[in-house]
Structure 1
Amino acid sequence: MVYADWGDPQRTLAVAKALMRAPLKEILSTLSEAMTDLIQHHALVMLTGDCPKSATWNHGDAELTQDVTSTELAALATHVDVGKPWFGEARLAGSLRPVLAVASAPPGSAGAMLAVLPADGSAPEPRVLAVIQQLWDLATVRVIDLMPQAVPVDMAGPWIANSERARVVANLTDAHATTLTTLLGVLRTRTLDAEAARRTATDIAVSALVELRATGEDEELPPEETVGGAFGRLSDMLGLLSRYSNVELEFSPPDCRQRLLPADIARAALTTARGTVLTMLEQGGVSRIRVSWQVEDTELRTTIRDDGPGTLAAEALAVHRLTDRVAALNGALHVDAVPEWGTIVTARLPLTAPDRPHSDPLGGLNPRELDVLERLVHGHRNRAIAQQLQISEHTVKFHVAKILKKLGVNSRGEAAALARASGFPTALSLVT
């Protein structure tokens, strides 16, 4: 390690100059070259909240980096604080290995973490860690400069990949809950003898492990899938819940089975339906649940009805983050519970944004952003907006950032003034 060279101002400035001039696709390779005499390494992997297309970038050993998943990086990020390098063992590419992780979150950034896979297992000296941290700070600033179109998402507690990690955790939680509920049904059923119940439970557990490993691989979904294909996956996903229980699940498929759905809408519809069914089962006293989809010109509507006690509250759906999942796609979730008659949960996911005249400065805002803007006009803060719209404060912050970007303004006050000048309603409408 030739650390002494970093005491030469010309060397240090040359490295900084190279980083600040590097094209977006060459930032990691430039950084890797600069770090060669600080820490010998096989590869660099980056997790960022600033890139709207991909959260992970990599450079180095392709056989190693191609197996690193965003789920593993999100787990590593929980150990790292901004400005405080961390060295230890972490699971990357499916195995525990020595990793150096550094995090940076300069103003205007959602935060970024760099994972360095060293050639040996020895921890760098503190003075070396300080230089690597400063290099990563510069690289993160360069990434932000080259992506002005990206809207940083507030990723608090921990600081990075909160949205991605929350999605993965919520999906895995629902998947595990489905498996456990099914296993309990097998163990309680009187239609299977002990040997058959044991074989069935083993098959269910093996299938769940296969699904878990597939999820960990974080495969990319195709951009679209057919309505029929998505609904078929939903019925397969939920079918086990009723096979060995006293609850009958009915499925009413949509008519337009060949229509294409955006992948994120299809995935949200599936996870929302599964979480809702699990929530309904948790309340007890349910013998029948009916799941139906209806696809219209502008929205996908999922309706789930049970014959339970009719006491399900909207807050119960928050346990599975259902409200946040739907709101993140500018959708709406409605709960209609009637005591002794059952509960109907309706999720509406928009497929297209409403048309507005191009002369309208607010025409680029979607319905949820208009809801948030309406409350900004009246001076409401994020917490109040979150309570009124029944979404999280993080989701509100995300919408506010997008509103400012779309309107080309720098503050909430400017956005409110522009809205008033455009004839935006001056009084809040009643929301039923």
Structure 2
Amino acid sequence: MRLPDPAVALAAAASVLRAPVGGILEPLSAALSEYLPHRALAMLTGDCARHPMKAYGEAALTEQITSTELARVGGTVELGRPWFGQAHLAGELIPALAVASQPPGADGALLVVMTGDEPADEVRVLVQALWDLVALHLSHRAVNLRPADLSGNRVAASERARAITELTNAHAATLQSLLSTLRSRTLDDAAARRTATDLAVSALIELRAAADLDSTLSEERAGVAFNRLAGKLAPLTRYSEVSLELNGPREPDHVLPGDIANAARALARNTVVTMLDYAGLSRIRVTWEVSGAELHVAIRDDGPGVLTVDALPVRRLTELAAAVGGRLSLDAVPGWGTTVTAALPLTPPVTEVPDDALAVLKPRELEVLERLARGLRNRQIAEDLLISQHTVKFHVANILDKLGVATRTEAAALAHIHGLSV
């Protein structure tokens, strides 16, 4: 095994850092292959709420490895100290080199290299140093994401935590109920079995219904979304002399894309916070209305009316609206108040892409995209391609990253443009 050359190592680091976040492992694998032959790489990072786990290499490993397995390996690795040993990955015991890094203010990142050879000390040092750079790069990208990506990551993390909490509580309640039934001294065996069976059936029904939680990551009813906004705004004026008037949408059951609902809440809340910084106002009115293919958000106050389009808060609001394809306008009249309005599209814009846009996808990713474009859910795609749902999620994440889009809908639109779903 040849020892690392400093110039080559630096060139490798540069190639890795130039890659998009979702494509870091491919150049990293190429950089390490000369010094550390391996079958696959996998990473787990706390700085990406949408896709914390990524893998690259042999499909037999990358399609089966789980974030739980990586987390278990991470529990044995100390920061800055490479670890080598047998690790349970992709359902089997595999020799692996693992390194962990946590830059200041970051949640940390783990890299696992599945290799059959025990690396020399110099190679371990190289892998650790390279991963330290990558972890720092990932934390920087997480802090400096575009508004749309940043809000999307935060929403995904929040909704994932909520879903896990709900499922955990339901699971605990079911187990407690079953134990109480089986331990009961007032029920005979037959009655206990019937009761336990009923509880188990009810729990299975609830578990299947929980699959619908996935839709909350992509869709939200306008009334529900506005009520969530009301909950966020209430503390801002609870002990203030400013009166807050909230006018929800007249069609509360109208379905909004998740990113639009989140952007509308962020716009309204940030605007209210900005207005409250000015003295002399007594009322703020927030209105949402679905009109045609847009969600219209309007925030009006009766303050001094001195806010300008060049003000930093307004520029940030404009960037937030633009990040989801919307537009924002400001109307401020000195002595009469300020009105901020935003129009957010309910359908994603069609992105102009080169004719070979899908050329970056691998054959399996094209198969997944084609079925995604036909409207199939992850479970249906998994059944159709005879792969696991976990693998489908992995491919979908890679597809979104490689195509430079944020949602499945945008990816499907590109597939239709290029005739993939025909």
Do Structure 1 and Structure 2 share a fold, with TM-score over 0.5?
no
TM interval, shorter chain, is 0.3 to 0.5
When normalised by structure 1's length, the TM-score is: 0.43
